[in-house]
Structure 1
Amino acid sequence: MAKNAIKQDEFLKHRSKFEIIMRLANYMKPFKLSVFTITVFMIFVMAINLLNPYLLKVAIDKYIKANDIYGLLKIGMIMIGLNFFALIISKLRVTMMGKMTNRIVVNIRRELYSHIQKLSFSFFDDRPVGKILARVIGDVKSLEQFFSNSVKQFIPEILRIVFVTIIMFSMNFKLALVSISILPLLFIGLFTIEILSRKRWDLFRKKKSNLNAYTHENFSGIRVVQSFVAEEKAINSYNNFVDEMTNSFIKAVKLQDLFWGMVQLSWGLGMVIVYFYSVKMIDEKSITIGTLVAFTWYISMFWRPIMNIANFYNTLVTSFSAADRIFEILEIEPNIKDYSTNKMKKINGEVEFKNVSFEYETGIPVLHKVNFKVNAGEVIALVGPTGAGKTTIINLLSRFYDVTSGKILVDGVDIKTVELESFRSQMGIMLQDTFLFSESIKENIKYGKLNATDEEIIKVAKIVGIHDYIMSLEKGYDTNVNERGTRLSVGQRQLISLARALLADPKILILDEATSNIDTHTEKLVQEGIKKLLKNRTSFVIAHRLSTIRDADRIMYIDKGKIVESGTHDELIEKRGYYYNLYMSQFEFIAKGV
């Protein structure tokens, strides 16, 4: 069971705002030229916007006052020409911005996806799939506005404020000082709101992740839901998750909306103060009407970027939570990783477990000092009650998990001391949980050997007895099996999975309940194929149907994480121990059924 259950809010480590911003900014480094070009375009457009009030001042104080129609038309044409050119530049800027932002987001999603591919099974054991999807899709998508606004708003608006402030102070120092006197109060208010807002956006993303996890799980198990007529229960649960997410979103938005109110209030108070002082200054003839009109325009140009920066800051606050969730996964190191660059040589197939103990969770042992040695080419059957540790043994041999203590040797080499890919590529594995991708039958079998020819694929399909069925389908090997192989029966899925494992032509073959859901007739065909393929291969077979493992070179009975019996079928029957009791009880059950 996942430690982080669907209803449980995820625990996240909060990084500092500076750390998050710097890490996000690193994703923009490959696009320095684009950022520079966009910034130049913005500065050009901004310069024209800053020039407009000054041209208006000249028009009022010089041409309108002197009743110079020709001069007024000339300055009007200049303004129209400059602003039309600025419009074209703005269009180019928006197009470049869209392309750059999309590429950055794609790069983050690719990095996150690639990293998750390398993470160990323990990562997936601890998290519902839906919550992982929420980070790869939703959280990455939410960063799009951050990258867009950081170039589109933050950089140019900072420059705009600087230039406007310089112009205002050069025009009239006292009036400029009065117009910005309200800023300290605004910054205190915004900082307070940001602290509270981040917590609320964190909660919203957690609730959204819970909803995503529940939806994914419910759709994956829709056959169970409908079989037990539990649709109403599922809908009620879904509505509860939606309500939790909606309520957390409303609380976050209500607080976020205070940003706008505080900026607009500050803007309004600033304008009132400026008009109050300017009336007196006009009476004293220390400023002209044109200067006041131009100054009022500049005040609007001063507060508008503050409004946009507040909007960017708002976006930034909502992005903090998404960034935290993304960086948390990127910082997770795989438990199973290469400790050496040494390649595994061609495997002969000798396997040895030396005092191997293992715990999935600290303090809860699953295997206790397991010792055994298998010669190359031997067929080993693992039997025993559910939860005894059979699958754990093959998971450790496949190095899906690392041993808690002890060593696993293949041809005398500790498997932790060789490159993982070079080791696994020489193994064929068919796990108990048969999984097929929503691709064609050919592509699913081809996972065993990505460069396999059609002839090789058909050969293994014939050996496991699935070829005739495949050819009876309308598109044959090109038939799509649907998600998780739902178009096929359980037995057919297992046969395709078996073909996939055999295509790898491994020196070590692992079959976990490979024939558990195949009918008796098909089982006989499969067993014949398996016998041929087990030759010259070290094989580990887990089977509850004991009739399928009678010919194994050795049968090991696993109970409570220990090997309590080991020997051939005849030896263990003669011993009349655990295996004998299991064997007799199984055939008693079959006899009664008959």
Structure 2
Amino acid sequence: MNQETKSGQIFDLPTLRRLYTFVRPYQKQFYLLIAIILLNAVLAPLTPLLIKYTIDTPIANGDYSQLTVMLVVMLVVTVLQGIAQFWNTYMSGWLGQYIIRDIRVQLYEKIIGLRLKFFDNTPIGRLVTRTISDVETLSNVFSDGMAAIAGDILQLVLIIAVMFYTDWKLSIISLSMIPLMLFCTYIFKEKIKDSFNEVRAAVSNLNAFVQEHITGMGIVQIFSSEDIEYKKFREINKVHRNANIRSILYYSVYYPVADVIAAAGTGLVVWYGSKQILGAEITFGTVTAFVMFINLFFRPIRQLADRFNTLQMGIVSTDRILKLLDSDEYTANEGTFAPDSIKGNVEFKNVWFAYNDEEYVLRDINFNVKEGETIAFVGATGAGKSSIINLLTRFYDINKGNIYVDGVEVHDYELNALRKHIGVVLQDVFLFSDTIENNIRLGDQSITHEKIVEAAKLVGVHDFIERLPGGYTYNVMERGATLSVGQRQLISFVRAMVHEPKIIVLDEATSSVDSETEELIQHAIENLMHGRTAIVIAHRLSTIQEADKIIVVDKGRIVEEGNHEQLLEKEGAYANLYRMQYKEVHKIGTL
């Protein structure tokens, strides 16, 4: 069954026990809520009993002084009920909001610690549903679920006990409509559960579709697919609308039916009670109290179906959230080695890697880079060059072999400590919707404004930034949309430089820019690589001719290695690549 449409068991004890672990930090508030629920349940049958006594004694006897006392007592009870109801609503909501805050923080902390393979296999919209919709559903478990159900059931038990204590015959008459009410409630519960499952699946599909297509809006528009995608969205939205309308229909039918059944119960009480009054077998106050008891009794029954569905959905949401929190399949194993500094020696030894099962994209990779050296990888698209970078930074973990940094296996490093010493500049630069300075600093408050300006001057981008409105406080908008590709690339160089990594990785860093920007970037690269171990991936062979070692990768294997001159002399794969690029450059130059 699809995880988005699965129904939960209301009394899923393992899930409820896990859910209680989130309540523990707020035990005082939780037990206070239980006490308030008990008080509410005890107060509920008091008003009918007080009215019965008032009608049968002060009013029947014409005792106005006692009547005044009873009115004051009823006023006090009503005020107490109002106060108890306020604290019940407030405390259940308060508890729910604090708990979902904690869960959402844990969930986000878990998500940002997962390896990239998890995000390769999981739609982003589904993760949005987990952290927003599912957690919000879970809050209803506390505000309108467990506590409310417990209070309703306790109130029903007390009312039944008081009713039978008062008059057992009238109680049986009053409760004669209960089987029919329970049957209708069960049918409603099952129907509304199915419609809620459909709504939940539709919401997840909407989130995934909207997120994906807004992110890829450039592709949609450049291929003139607006109408096609609009029609797809209309269909998904139609499913969402129909599911919600079905749930509205069930509510529209159930509540009037429940009211009719409750009214029928009241009518039976009045009919039978009137006969008993005329026969002087019971008092008018007793019949009046039972009419009130019926209203008190049927109201929570009407709500129970809704509350059980709320709890059921909350259990499903909790189950999905816990599965994500408990998942260790995509969690990077944390080592403990966390040096303050490293030299920058890198070694790959018999490394095999596959993104999926046994479909290896890297096969028996062996190379080493010494401190301060520059190594470059070249090869056709899909040869496996970028995968090497992903393994060094532990975005993915290898299937076989070993990777060492300064002679220490990368799995033995504390993950953040390892990545702190590796600066990565990717071809597709991601900038957040924030200021340039914050995109460079990335939350590290130890990086001063002066340090950022100094790095920007070294990269050669300071004057460009100063010309922007607000300078370093200029907001680049989502993904850096207000900047050119080259400008985003240069900012990524500044970002890498201010974090002072000992190993610098450049992945196709100049493949998407014009020649003028490339010249500026080449100058930035020279400054960035100075005194650091550098691993460069490039299509343009002109940018890596000065590298200490060049490695040619083809179909996941190393086929050649050496410096520029050595590889040209071999007349192999590198020489062929070089001649092909030279011809392309020469051809473009003659146009």
TM-score (norm 2): 0.91
Which segment is superposed worse, 286-295 or 40-49?
Answer: 40-49
Letter in structure 2 aligned against 1:139: D
Structure 1 match to 2:363: 368
2:166 & 2:569 partners in 1: Cα distance? 107
1:193 & 1:298 partners in 2: Cα distance? 24
Structure 2 match to 1:3: none
Q: Secondary structure at the match of 1:547?
A: helix
Which segment is superposed worse, 499-508 or 300-309?
Answer: 300-309
Structure 1 match to 2:556: 561
Letter in structure 2 aligned against 1:380: I
Shift of 1:395: 0.3
Aligned residues with identical type, % of pairs? 37
2:64 & 2:403 partners in 1: Cα distance? 95
| Aligned with residue 306 of structure 2, among 300, 307, 311 | 311
2:83 & 2:166 partners in 1: Cα distance? 31
Q: Secondary structure at the match of 1:348?
A: coil
Q: Secondary structure at the match of 1:340?
A: coil
Alpha carbons of 1:329 and 1:176: their partners in 2 closer, same or farther (altered >3 Å)?
same
2:145 & 2:467 partners in 1: Cα distance? 58
Alpha carbons of 1:197 and 1:331: their partners in 2 closer, same or farther (altered >3 Å)?
farther
Shift of 1:391: 0.4
Letter in structure 2 aligned against 1:476: G
Alpha carbons of 1:318 and 1:249: their partners in 2 closer, same or farther (altered >3 Å)?
farther
1:23 & 1:479 partners in 2: Cα distance? 46
* Contact 1:376 1:538 (8 Å CA) reproduced: yes
| 1:288-303 map, 5 Å | 288-303=283-298
Which segment is superposed worse, 385-394 or 38-47?
Answer: 38-47
| 1:130-529 map, 5 Å | 130-150=125-145, 153-183=148-178, 186-187=181-182, 190-191=185-186, 194=189, 197-255=192-250, 260=255, 263-264=258-259, 266-268=261-263, 270-275=265-270, 277-279=272-274, 281-282=276-277, 285-333=280-328, 335-344=330-339, 346-447=341-442, 450-529=445-524
Q: Secondary structure at the match of 1:377?
A: coil
* Contact 1:344 1:422 (8 Å CA) reproduced: yes
Cα-to-partner distance string for 1:77-136 (whole Å, 9 max, x where unaligned): 332343235434544544444433322222222121111111111111112222211221
1:587 & 1:13 partners in 2: Cα distance? 59
Q: Secondary structure at the match of 1:207?
A: helix
Structure 1 match to 2:72: 77
2:80 & 2:199 partners in 1: Cα distance? 43
Alpha carbons of 1:23 and 1:192: their partners in 2 closer, same or farther (altered >3 Å)?
farther
Shift of 1:434: 0.8
Cα-to-partner distance string for 1:520-543 (whole Å, 9 max, x where unaligned): 233233323322332332211011
* Contact 2:41 2:158 (8 Å CA) reproduced: no
Q: Secondary structure at the match of 1:143?
A: helix
Cα-to-partner distance string for 1:127-186 (whole Å, 9 max, x where unaligned): 222221122122222233221113662232222112212211111223324433554565
Cα-to-partner distance string for 1:274-301 (whole Å, 9 max, x where unaligned): 4565455445543222212112212221
Q: Secondary structure at the match of 2:145?
A: helix
Which segment is superposed worse, 463-472 or 12-21?
Answer: 12-21
Cα-to-partner distance string for 1:54-81 (whole Å, 9 max, x where unaligned): 1211222112222333332332233234
Q: Secondary structure at the match of 1:65?
A: helix
Shift of 1:466: 1.1
* Contact 2:7 2:312 (8 Å CA) reproduced: no
Q: Secondary structure at the match of 1:380?
A: strand
Alpha carbons of 1:448 and 1:88: their partners in 2 closer, same or farther (altered >3 Å)?
closer
Cα-to-partner distance string for 1:452-484 (whole Å, 9 max, x where unaligned): 122221122122221110011121111111111
Q: Secondary structure at the match of 1:347?
A: coil
Q: Secondary structure at the match of 2:350?
A: strand
Shift of 1:321: 4.0
Cα-to-partner distance string for 1:345-401 (whole Å, 9 max, x where unaligned): 732222211111111111321111111222222111111111110000110011111
Q: Secondary structure at the match of 2:376?
A: strand
Cα-to-partner distance string for 1:182-230 (whole Å, 9 max, x where unaligned): 5456556645654564444333222211111111222223333334443
Alpha carbons of 1:391 and 1:77: their partners in 2 closer, same or farther (altered >3 Å)?
same
* Contact 2:345 2:405 (8 Å CA) reproduced: yes
Pairwise CA RMSD of aligned residues? 2.7
* Contact 1:101 1:148 (8 Å CA) reproduced: yes
* Contact 2:145 2:311 (8 Å CA) reproduced: no
TM-score (norm 1): 0.91
Cα-to-partner distance string for 1:552-581 (whole Å, 9 max, x where unaligned): 011111111101111111111111111111
How many residues align? The count is 587
2:250 & 2:122 partners in 1: Cα distance? 31
* Contact 1:378 1:537 (8 Å CA) reproduced: yes
Which segment is superposed worse, 465-474 or 533-542?
Answer: 533-542
2:299 & 2:400 partners in 1: Cα distance? 64
Q: Which segments of 5 or more consecutive residues in structure 2 lack a partner in the other structure?
A: none
1:89 & 1:11 partners in 2: Cα distance? 37
Structure 1 match to 2:107: 112
Which segment is superposed worse, 440-449 or 505-514?
Answer: 440-449
Which segment is superposed worse, 498-507 or 378-387?
Answer: 498-507
Which segment is superposed worse, 200-209 or 261-270?
Answer: 261-270
Cα-to-partner distance string for 1:25-75 (whole Å, 9 max, x where unaligned): 443333232233344445445544422211211222112222333332332
2:516 & 2:98 partners in 1: Cα distance? 55
Letter in structure 1 aligned against 2:491: I
Alpha carbons of 1:356 and 1:514: their partners in 2 closer, same or farther (altered >3 Å)?
same
Which segment is superposed worse, 371-380 or 263-272?
Answer: 263-272
Letter in structure 2 aligned against 1:486: A
